[in-house]
Amino acid sequence: MNWIVLFVAGLFEVAWAVGLKYTEGFTRLWPSVGTAVAFLVSLGLLSWAMRDLPVGTAYAVWVGIGAVGTAVIGMTLLGEPASLVRVLSLGLIVAGIVGLKLSSPA
């Protein structure tokens, strides 16, 4: 269950990271509110998952999900470049996440 909670926390991290683009420096109310809510939910779920998962593993997986998810959204929806090196690099991050999951005692 903690891994599912951690995955959802990572999805909310993607939401607030992408949301930052639309806050325009926190000058737009509703994008700012949505970003702040996503941030708080993400941290709350991360905290919950860390009750039983090792802190280093949980944090690294959370950051990895956020980084990969944000980069994929940037490439697919926001017109950011999707070079071969960039995609392969994201694949390495995913491999790291999988490795952490497989090696975790929890």
Q: Which sequence spans correspond to the domains of the chain?
A: 1-103
**H or E stretch covering 8:** helix 2-23
pLDDT at 101 (0 to 100): 93
For residues 67 and 99, the answer to whether their CB atoms sit within 8 Å is no
Kindly report the pTM of this predicted structure: 0.92
The pLDDT mean for the chain works out to: 96
**Predicted confidence (pLDDT) at residue 103 exceeds the cutoff of 70:** yes
User: Whole-angstrom distance between the N-terminal and C-terminal Cα of the chain?
Assistant: 10
How many Cβ atoms are within 10 Å of 73's Cβ, its own excluded?
16
Which tokens go with 16?
A: 């607030």
pLDDT digit string, tens, across residues 52-98: 999 999 999 999 999 999 999 999 999 999 999 999 999 999 999 99
Q: What is the 8-class DSSP label of residue 106? A: -
For residues 106 and 54, the answer to whether their CB atoms sit within 8 Å is yes
**Predicted confidence (pLDDT) at residue 104 exceeds the cutoff of 90:** no
